[in-house]
Chain A
Amino acid sequence: QITLKESGPTLVKPTQTLTLTCTFSGFSLSTSGVGVGWIRQPPGKALEWLALIYWDDDKRYSPSLKSRLTITKDTSKNQVVLTMTNMDPVDTATYYCARNLIYLTAGAFDIWGQGTMVTVSS
Chain B
Amino acid sequence: DIQMTQSPSSLSASVGDRVTITCRASQGISNYLAWYQQKPGKVPKLLIYAASTLQSGVPSRFSGSGSGTDFTLTISSLQPEDVATYYCQKYNSAPLITFGPGTKVDIK
Q: How large is the interface on B (under 10, 10 to 19, 20 to 34, 35 or more residues)?
A: 20 to 34
Asked if A107 CB lies within 8 Å of chain B CBs, one says yes
Query: Within residues 98 to 116 of chain A, which ones have a CB less than 8 A from any CB in chain B?
Result: 102, 105-110, 112-115
A96 contacts chain B at the CB level, 8 A cutoff:
yes
Residues 76-108 of B contacting A (Cβ, < 8 Å): 87, 89, 91-92, 94-102
For A, the interface residue count at a CB cutoff of 8 angstroms equals 22
Measured between alpha carbons, how far is A52 from B39 in the docked complex, in Å?
Answer: 24
Cα distance, A41 to B89, chains bound together (Å): 14
- Say yes or no: A112 contacts B44, CB within 8 Å: yes
Complex contact B94–A63 (CB within 8 A) = yes
Identify B49's interface contact among A39, A48, A105, CB under 8 A: A105
Is B63 an interface residue when CB atoms closer than 8 A count as contact?
A: no
> Considering the chains assembled together, what is the distance between the CA atoms of A112 and B38 in angstroms?
12
Residues of A within 8 A of B33 (CB): 106
Known A-B contacts A105-B49, A107-B34, A115-B43; the reply to A46 vs B97 at CB < 8 A is no
Which residue in chain A gives the minimum CB-CB distance to B51?
A106
Q: What is the minimal beta-carbon distance from B37 to any residue of chain A, in angstroms?
A: 12
